[in-house]
Amino acid sequence: MTSQLNPAWQRRAVSSDHLAKISARFLSDGPRPEQTTDGCQVIPFLLDHPDQRWITGELCEVLTQRGQRSLSCELQEGGDGASLEDVQDALLRQGADKQLCLLPANSPATIQACRFDHVVLLVPASLDAVLLAYERIKLLSQQAAPDIGIVMVGPRDQHAAWRYFRKLAVGTLRFLDIPLLNLGFLPQQVMPEHSPANHHRHNYLTRISERLLRSEFYCRCRPGTTTQARLAR
């Protein structure tokens, strides 16, 4: 099943090396911001439900243990999501001394407001959740379609995780021409409601963290910078 966990879904005109070497960044009309060594690298997460926030929290702990100073950014979102200014302010205030800032968002509008060029979707293992994820990806693609990574949450086992991921990946590639990056899964038996403290959950989160880092699935935000060009068009 190793090949099934790799980024195997891509647009017809895109090579497999493209997804393996995603250069995540914020979109900009001008030249790409100069890469600096004193910036916070941001990984946006689009949650299916606010209760999934524990995933970014525990993933931060795993990343920190791996030597990456990490933070799960606290973001206040209204009914229409958070504005560009809200996101920028939260990142600059909370992530100034961090290497990685995981940004959990409840609304696709937050991702759209910032024009992130990549996002991780946390998708529960159910047909309803897969359909919702498809609709969210379709909505995000109304702007320049971001690179999208998927983490399946709560499948019975690896085979179930793959089946749900495949349903979503085939649909988005066929109808939206959007490839998906498989970042892994968190099986049902490691959910907090089944086991508050579970070393197996740590192992699965470690695998997800490895894929995030290996694929460079993050963007750079330079704390202290206030120019909107770093965050939007």
54 is in which domain, residue-wise?
2-29+36-221
pLDDT of residue 123: 98
In this predicted model, which residue has the larger pLDDT, 76 or 29?
76
Considering the domain boundaries, does residue 138 fall inside one? yes
pLDDT of residue 143: 85
Q: What is the mean predicted confidence (pLDDT) over 9-17?
A: 45
The most confident of 108-112, 133-137, 212-216, by mean pLDDT: 133-137
Q: For the ranges 71-80, 116-125, 131-140, 208-217, which has the lowest average pLDDT?
A: 71-80
Considering the domain boundaries, does residue 147 fall inside one? yes
Considering the domain boundaries, does residue 206 fall inside one? yes
Tell me how far apart the alpha carbons of residues 200 and 25 are, in angstroms, rounded to a whole number. Answer: 32
The answer to whether residue 225 scores a pLDDT higher than 80 is: no
Tell me how far apart the alpha carbons of residues 214 and 210 are, in angstroms, rounded to a whole number. Answer: 6
Q: What is the mean predicted confidence (pLDDT) over 209-213?
A: 95
Residue range 158-193, pLDDT digits in tens? 999 999 999 999 999 999 999 999 999 999 999 988
pLDDT of residue 220: 55
The answer to whether residue 85 scores a pLDDT higher than 60 is: yes
Distances (CA, A) of 56 to 72, 140, 145, 159, 223: 6, 21, 23, 24, 21
Specify which residues 122 forms β-bridges with. 151
Considering the domain boundaries, does residue 228 fall inside one? no
Considering the domain boundaries, does residue 177 fall inside one? yes
Q: Are strands 118-124 and 40-46 parallel, antiparallel or unpaired?
A: parallel
Tell me how far apart the alpha carbons of residues 16 and 211 are, in angstroms, rounded to a whole number. Answer: 15
Considering the domain boundaries, does residue 168 fall inside one? yes
Distances (CA, A) of 151 to 33, 59, 78, 154, 155: 29, 12, 25, 10, 11
| pTM to 2 decimal places | 0.80
The answer to whether residue 63 scores a pLDDT higher than 90 is: yes
The answer to whether residue 112 scores a pLDDT higher than 80 is: yes
Considering the domain boundaries, does residue 231 fall inside one? no
The answer to whether residue 9 scores a pLDDT higher than 60 is: no
**CATH code where residue 146 lies:** 3.40.50.300
Distances (CA, A) of 119 to 65, 157, 191: 23, 24, 22
Q: What is the mean predicted confidence (pLDDT) over 31-49?
A: 68
Which positions ≥6 away from 118 have C-beta within 8 Å? 22, 24, 44, 146, 147, 148, 149, 217, 218, 219
The number of distinct structural domains making up the chain is: 1
Considering the domain boundaries, does residue 229 fall inside one? no
